[in-house]
């Protein structure tokens, strides 16, 4: 059990795996972008404009303004998560890419770490583009929004690591439903992206306090609309801690799975 | 002869299952060495321990003078691995597969390109440079895996069942290429359950069964010592075995019954094949085949002709 919680020895060579993932991505990046950005942009337009017409202001914002920051962050979450679940699982189990790479000077720690870095990168790509889209809608009205990229990096890294940890337990593609349908999707809806949590039953807001996305959404709203408060540093710490924890644990778990 | 791989009491256990049961072997520089055995004999587990994919449970193992447990990276820099499955990068083209793999070895770009061109020519893949992996035939995929394993000019090439599932032409091309590496000084360690493959490639073989090495030596010597020079296969009703054995009782011949066939193993220099056929011709049989003893006979004598699924 102790091996799961120790700090893995990762070398700079993990960048070679990141490069490999990048090269593979560059061949099909248009399709991949469509997959990662189609949903959040649709939500922004359909919910923001469509549903927003029928709603009063929320916390002094139009509905479009209310949901835009959370959609930037959740697009990072989903892009990083899909990469380190389906993408990594496919490479590990079906394509045996991991096996091929660990026959070279790279170790399994390097390979998993490289994949997490790549998942982080994909989250950053999606989040950054969504951030630009939100900007194009004219929704950014504070210099504090310059802090959003940092938040995107952190959220992407957290969900890439968390997803990799989930992947280390998964035996079939279908099993990802546990993680995605029972964890990611509910989190997407109950972390304050679409509605304020303080109007919901108490237990919902209690549960939401344990969801990392809740803090990320709050921070994103605070930054984009220039109302920074104590939630920014505290929230960032609450994201960084679990991110580093799951980064280490997921590498150790994957090592236990692959090296037998 | 300089040893490049030294194993003593090498053991691999998966829980209660003993996959490799304390085996000893030495492989020398430039040697072509084969592990033979039925499925489940422990061949793949052995080869996986050699490059650190599978950590050894017990024993000693030195590869190129280094300990795999502490210096895996330095060992892996100097070996090439052809694993049982074609674990090619299906997202990438033929050329990209080689270039990306070269990058894992920290090879500079220009050198990697030169080496990739060289290897595509060597493996007759130049015309497929830009093809995606799925567009390749089984033989081409295998050649690409082999080309990839050679990208770092390895001192040792490890091959786990290099030609399983390939057609005869594809197999022969790979065998030719592997033999031609000999002049470059590469040592080769392979696993196979094809006896012709072992005979074509190996200077020495180790026959494995149930996690142990049960015989080691050059294929020819082993066959001569353990089987004999020639084999007579007699398709004959089991009821007539006793009659056959009586008629050859004065000759020093080992026999074995399996299925519809009675095997007679003729020792080296035996000139009695003629005598034997004369005597047996009178006993009612449907077919008699007189042939050279092969590695296949050795293998089946040592591991049993019965199919045992491990």
Ordered by start, the domain boundaries in chain A are 29-258
pLDDT for B16? 93
Compute the mean pLDDT over every residue in chain B, rounded to the nearest whole number.
Answer: 91
* Residue B270 confidence (pLDDT): 60
- To the nearest 10°, report the CA torsion of B135, B137, B143, B145: 60
Nearest to A129 by CA among A152, A108, A106, A110: A152
Of A23, A99, A260, the CB nearest to B83: A99
CATH number among 1.10.3720.10, 3.10.50.40, 3.30.70.260, 3.40.50.280, domain B228-292: 3.30.70.260
In the block, tokens 């830009």 appear at: B130
pLDDT of residue B112: 98
Verify whether the Cβ–Cβ distance A259 to B101 is below 8 Å.
Answer: no
For the structural domain made of B3-218, what CATH number should be given? 3.40.50.300
Going by pLDDT thresholds of 50, 70 and 90, the confidence category of residue B227 is confident
What pLDDT does residue B305 have? 60
The answer to whether residue B155 scores a pLDDT higher than 50 is yes
Query: Residues of B with CB below 8 A from A257's CB?
Result: none
Greater confidence (A30 vs B118) lies with B118
Size of interface A-B (CB pairs under 8 A): 64
Calculate the alpha carbon distances from A48 to A101, A137, A152, A200, A214 in Å.
45, 11, 21, 20, 19
A13 contacts in B (CB within 8 Å)? 104, 106
Domains B3-218 and B228-292 are alike in CATH topology: no
Place A74 in a pLDDT band, splitting at 50, 70 and 90: very high
Percent of chain B with pLDDT over 90: 66
DSSP string, B233-267: EEE--GGGHHHHHHHTTTS--EEEEETTEEEEEEP
Interchain pair B53, A103: CB under 8 A: yes
Mean predicted confidence (pLDDT) in B127-140: 95
H/E run at residue A226: none
Domain-by-domain residue ranges, chain B? 3-218, 228-292
Q: Is residue A107 within 8 angstroms of chain B, CB to CB? A: yes
This complex has an ipTM of 0.91
**pLDDT exceeds 80 at position A2:** no
**CB distance A97–B101 less than 8 Å?**
no
Tens digits of per-residue pLDDT, A80-92?
Answer: 999 999 999 999 9
- Closest CB from A19, A97, A260 relative to B103: A19
Least confident of A14-28, A189-203, B110-124: A189-203
Q: Is A23 on the interface with B (CB under 8 A)?
A: yes
Interface residue A31 vs chain B (CB under 8 A): no
Say if CB B229 and CB B292 are below 8 A apart.
yes
**pLDDT of amino acid B310:** 46
Q: Band of the pLDDT at B194, cuts 50, 70, 90?
A: confident
Residue A102 has its nearest CB partner, among B53, B101, B148, at B53
Least confident of A127-131, A167-171, B266-270: B266-270
Interface subset of A 233-252, CB within 8 angstroms of B: none
Place of tokens 């957290």: A158
CA distance B48 to A91: 19
B105 and A105: CB-CB below 8 Å? yes
């Amino acid at each position: 059990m102790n091996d799961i919680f120790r700090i893995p020895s990762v070398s700079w060579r993990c960048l070679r795996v990141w490069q490999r993932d990048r090269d593979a991505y560059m061949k099909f990046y248009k399709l991949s972008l469509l997959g990662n950005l189609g949903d959040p942009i649709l939500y922004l337009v359909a919910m923001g404009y469509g549903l927003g017409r029928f709603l009063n202001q929320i916390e002094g914002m139009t509905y479009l303004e209310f949901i835009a920051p959370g959609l930037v962050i959740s697009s990072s979450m989903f892009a990083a998560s899909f990469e380190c679940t389906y993408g990594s699982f496919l490479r590990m189990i079906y394509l045996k890419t991991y096996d091929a790479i660990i026959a070279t000077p790279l170790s399994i720690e390097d390979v998993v770490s490289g994949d997490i870095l790549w998942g982080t990168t994909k989250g950053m790509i999606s989040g950054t583009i969504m951030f630009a889209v939100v900007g194009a809608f004219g929704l950014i009205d504070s210099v504090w929004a310059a802090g959003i990229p940092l938040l995107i990096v952190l959220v992407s890294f957290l969900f890439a690591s968390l997803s990799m940890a989930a992947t280390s337990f998964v035996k079939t593609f279908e099993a990802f439903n546990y993680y995605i349908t029972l964890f990611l999707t509910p989190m997407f809806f109950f972390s304050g992206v679409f509605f304020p949590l303080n109007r919901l039953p108490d237990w919902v807001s209690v549960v939401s306090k344990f969801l990392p996305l809740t803090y990320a959404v709050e921070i994103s709203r605070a930054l984009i609309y220039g109302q920074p408060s104590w939630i920014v540093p505290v929230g960032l710490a609450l994201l960084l801690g679990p991110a580093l924890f799951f980064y280490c644990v997921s590498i150790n778990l994957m090592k236990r799975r692959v090296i037998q | 002869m300089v040893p490049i791989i030294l194993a003593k009491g090498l053991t691999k256990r998966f829980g209660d299952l003993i996959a490799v049961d304390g085996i000893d072997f030495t492989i020398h520089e430039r040697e072509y060495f084969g592990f033979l055995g039925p499925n489940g004999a422990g061949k793949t587990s052995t080869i996986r321990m050699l490059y650190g994919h599978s950590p050894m449970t017990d024993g000693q193992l030195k590869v190129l003078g280094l300990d795999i447990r502490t210096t895996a990276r330095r060992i892996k820099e100097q070996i090439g691995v052809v694993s049982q499955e074609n674990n090619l990068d299906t997202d990438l083209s033929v050329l990209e597969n080689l270039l990306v793999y070269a990058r894992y070895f920290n090879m500079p770009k220009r050198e990697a390109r030169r080496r990739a061109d060289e290897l595509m020519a060597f493996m007759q893949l130049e015309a497929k440079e830009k093809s995606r992996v799925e567009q390749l035939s089984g033989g081409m995929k295998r050649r690409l895996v082999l080309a990839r394993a050679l990208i770092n000019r390895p001192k040792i090439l490890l091959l786990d069942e290099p030609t399983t599932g390939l057609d005869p032409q594809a197999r022969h091309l790979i065998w030719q290429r592997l033999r031609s590496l000999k002049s470059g000084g590469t040592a080769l360690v392979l696993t196979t359950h094809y006896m012709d493959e072992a005979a074509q490639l190996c200077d020495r073989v180790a026959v494995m069964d149930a996690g142990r090495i049960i015989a080691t030596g050059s294929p020819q010597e082993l066959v001569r010592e353990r089987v004999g020079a020639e084999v007579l296969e007699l398709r004959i009703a089991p009821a007539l075995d006793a009659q056959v054995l009586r008629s050859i009782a004065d000759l020093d011949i080992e026999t074995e019954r399996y299925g519809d066939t009675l095997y007679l193993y003729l020792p080296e220099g035996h000139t009695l094949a003629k005598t034997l056929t004369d005597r047996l011709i009178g006993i009612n049989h449907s077919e008699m085949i007189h042939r050279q003893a092969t590695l296949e006979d050795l293998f089946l004598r040592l591991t049993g002709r019965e199919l045992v699924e491990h």
